[in-house]
Amino acid sequence: MSKIMVQGTASSVGKSILVTALCRILKEDGYKICPFKSQNMSLNSYITLDGKEMGRAQVLQAYAAGLEPEAYMNPILLKPTTDKRCQVIVKGKVYGNTSAMEYHELKPIFKDMLKEDFMKLESEYDAMVMEGAGSPAEINLRDRDIVNMGMAELVDAPVILVGDIDKGGVFASLAGTMMLLKEDERSRVKGFVINKFRGDVDILKPGIDMIEDIIKIPCLGVVPHFTLKLEDEDSAITFNNKATNDIDIVVIRLPHISNFTDFDAFSCEEDVSIRFVRDKKDFGSPDLVIIPGSKNTIEDLLFLRDTGLEDVIKDYSNDNMIIGICGGYQMLGNTIKDPYCIETNEKEVKALGLLDIETIFEREKTMTRVEGSLINISRSKNSIYGYEIHLGKTIKSPQIKSIIKINKVNDKEESSYDGGVNLKGNIMGTYIHGIFDAPTFRQHILNPIRKKKLLEERESPSYESLREKELDKLAKIVRESLDMDKVYKIINLK
C-alpha cells in the first residue's frame, strides 16, 4: 500500500497545508487519495453528513482530495476546555472529558483501534497522505506516541520532515529534530522540505548542501511563502485587528473561541474586512459585531464582563447590528443555566440581555448537518447550510422570531426552526456554524450595510468555488517547488 506521512519540526510549520497540497496534486494525477491524522487538537471542528465530529484541517484536505469529509480521516479529536483538560472525540463521537495525564494513559487503548481502522482504509484508496502533530522530537511523549513516529511505525509509513524558515532557525530545527529521533525513527525520514521561504533560493543552496551532509537526508524542495484564501490550522492563524476595506466587521476574540473558520467566507467579499478584537480600546466603530462560538461559553461571557467589553457591546447594540453564533448566540440571552456544572461550577449566569431568550445546558451534545432557508425572504436563491455543535437548548420568548426554517438534518428530511431575532431586527443569533459560507446569508447581512453606507449592493459569490480555485493554486505552487519524482518514489506510486 502507498502512503506518506508529513511531520514537522514544530507546530505551525505548514504540515496541514502541505498535506492538503499533496492530496490535490495526487488527485490531479488520477489517484484516489485519503487524508489521515490520527489525533488532532483543535477547537475548529466540523460535522459530517452522518452527524460525526472531526477537525477542520482534515475537512479541507478531504476537499483537496475530492472527497466528502468523514470522521475516519481524523479518528481522535481533542478539544481543549481549559489549559489542562479537554473533550475527547473518538470516531466522531464524544468519548469523555479528561486531564492531559488521563488522556496520556488512554493512548495504548486507542493504538489498536487506529491500526485496525487504518488498515481498512488502505484497501479502499490508492494512497494515504498522513499528517503528524507538533513535533516528533517530543521525547517526553515518545513512549505512548500515536500521532507522529509512533503512528508511522504502527503502519510502516515513510516520513517527510518539514521545517519553517520564516521564523528563522530552520537548519537548527531540522538538525535538532533528527538528533533527538531514535535510529529506527531517523531511518523513516526520507527527505525534508523547507517551507515559507522568502528571497533568492540560490542564496539558500549552500545551507541546504550543508544540512543534507549533516542529517544525511535529501532536500525535496523549498516552498515559497504564499498567501491564499484557505483555512489556517489553529496554531498558524493570524488574528487581523485592522480594518482594510469599506465594511468593517468585528469578531470578538474570545479566550475559548471555536470555529473561527466560520468567517473565512468573507474573503469572497472584496469590500469586507474582518477584525478580531479582545480589548475594548480596539473596538472602534464597526459596521457589524459578531460574537463567535466558544468551547467554554460561561467563562468567555465572564471574560466580556471582566474586560469591559460587555458594556461596549451593549452600548453598540442600541443602533447597530450584532450576530451571535452558537455560544455567542447563547451569550446574547438573559441567562445561561448549567445545572450539571458541565462548563463551570456556576449553575446560572446572567447573560448580555440583548435577546429575550434563555439557554439550559444539557448532557447530550447536538451534532448535526443542516440545510434550510431564511424565513420571510422572497429570493430565488435562498439556501442556508452549515452544521450545529452545541450543548444546551435555547428557549425563546414570543417576541423573538426564528430566522431560519430547517428542512434537512444529517441529509434527511426534517422540519424545524433555528435562531432568533429581536423586533427591531438588529440583534440576531443562530446555532449554525458555517452559515456565512451560504451566499444567501452573507448577502442578506451585507447589503443593508452597503445601502446604509451608500455603497453598491452586490450579489455574494460562492465560497466553495473560491476554495476550489485556491486549492488548484496551492497544488501548482507546491508541485513546482518540490521534486515530485522523489516524492512519488517515497510514496511508492508511479
pLDDT of residue 238: 62
pLDDT tens across 176-222, in order?
999 999 999 999 999 999 999 999 999 999 999 999 999 999 999 99
- Cβ-in-10-Å burial (0-12, 13-18, 19+) of 478 comes to buried
pTM of the model as a whole: 0.94
Residue 428 · residue 403 · CB < 8 Å: yes
> Residue with C-alpha cell 469586507?
272
Residue 225 · residue 197 · CB < 8 Å: yes
What domains sit in the chain, N to C, each tagged with a CATH number? 2-230 (3.40.50.300), 239-466 (3.40.50.880)
- 3-state class (DSSP) for residue 90: strand
- CA gap 320, 291 in Å, rounded: 14
Angle at 34 between CA 145 and CA 128, to 5 degrees: 55
| DSSP label of 170 | H
CA distances from 154 to 38, 235, 308, 491 (A): 11, 26, 51, 17
Q: Give 10-residue mean pLDDT values along the chain (494 residues).
A: 95 96 98 98 95 96 98 96 91 94 94 94 96 96 96 98 96 98 98 97 97 98 95 64 91 95 95 96 97 96 98 97 98 97 92 98 94 84 93 95 96 96 97 97 97 96 96 98 98 94
Q: Strand locations in 216-327, DSSP E?
A: 219-224, 247-252, 257-258, 272-277, 288-291, 293-294, 321-325
pLDDT of residue 233: 61
- CA gap 194, 181 in Å, rounded: 19
Residues involved in catalysis: 326, 433
Host H or E run for residue 342: none
**Mean of the per-residue pLDDT values for the chain?**
95
